Structure 1
Amino acid sequence: MKTTTTDTFVSLLEKHQNIIHKICRLYTNSQDEHNDLFQEITIQLWRAYPKFRGEAKFSTWMYRVSLNTAITLFKKAKRQIETQSFDKVEFKIKFEAYDDTVEQQLSQMYKALHTLNDIDKALVFLYLEDKNYTEISETLGISEVNARVKMNRIKKKLREILNP
């Protein structure tokens, strides 16, 4: 049985759909907005799929298209992006001893993250997803050096906010 382009795309989309859900959670506040953004990202991925050359991993390409779609969609709407609390986004962070102190520190960190602009939030999101700087730069369409510099500035800014 021959696999079609559509079958391949659907298979890859199903395999990596959590990427889209995480981005939707990051850039929306309600389930309806989440569903709308998920649909829009899926449409953009389908439209862009014929141009996917396989030079990067599919997931890296998917991050880039998804983040660009989310950011562009909200910029076109000329409205302030209301981001959802980072504590509702599932990052690959495991805590051995989860207590009130850790919860309080996380709460402070999430508040600090809300002060970042959309691109910086995307960079932090990818960093917390354990992406290396090469993957981050490919996803965001910036140089690896720029990604490192931006991340260092973000870390410094977050330290200043958290440790005045």
Structure 2
Amino acid sequence: MTYADSFLKTILERTRTVAVVGVSANPVRPSYFVARYLGLKGYRVIPVNPGLAGQTLFGETVYGTLADVPDDVDMVDIFRRSDAVPAIVDEALARWPDLQTIWMQIGVEHAQAAEVAQARGVDVLQNRCPKIEYQRLFGELRMGGFNTGVISSRLR
């Protein structure tokens, strides 16, 4: 799937609060470091994982389901297998009638669930990572995919 950079940038700029479904408390897991990164970039990250419900991650209470989240969110970021997506999308749409974005992580796709969300006016991204797209679109990626913090024209 391809998405215009302007579409991706609009989503990342308008989003303020992200519910991360399937977040891990293990710092080596991608769901943990993506959620942490988004928090460091100023997004409010609401962790959702039934196995961690009631604990605290990133300064926020972990909720067992999207239905348990007491606050509004702009985006639901899904770190679950593709076959779990329809139930997550249905729960998100039921919980937030004005939800703006469903974002499925790298390797996560579900065409039918995407169609359901899009029919409700929700922007849907599949098989993408908001951390990678943020870094790419806002100038944080350099050679090798990381920001060295060094600005120099000298060869090393």
If the length of structure 2 is used for normalisation, what is the TM-score?
0.28
Q: Which has the larger radius of gyration?
A: 1
Structure with higher helix content? 1
For CA contacts below 8 A with separation 6 or more, give which structure has more relative contact order.
1
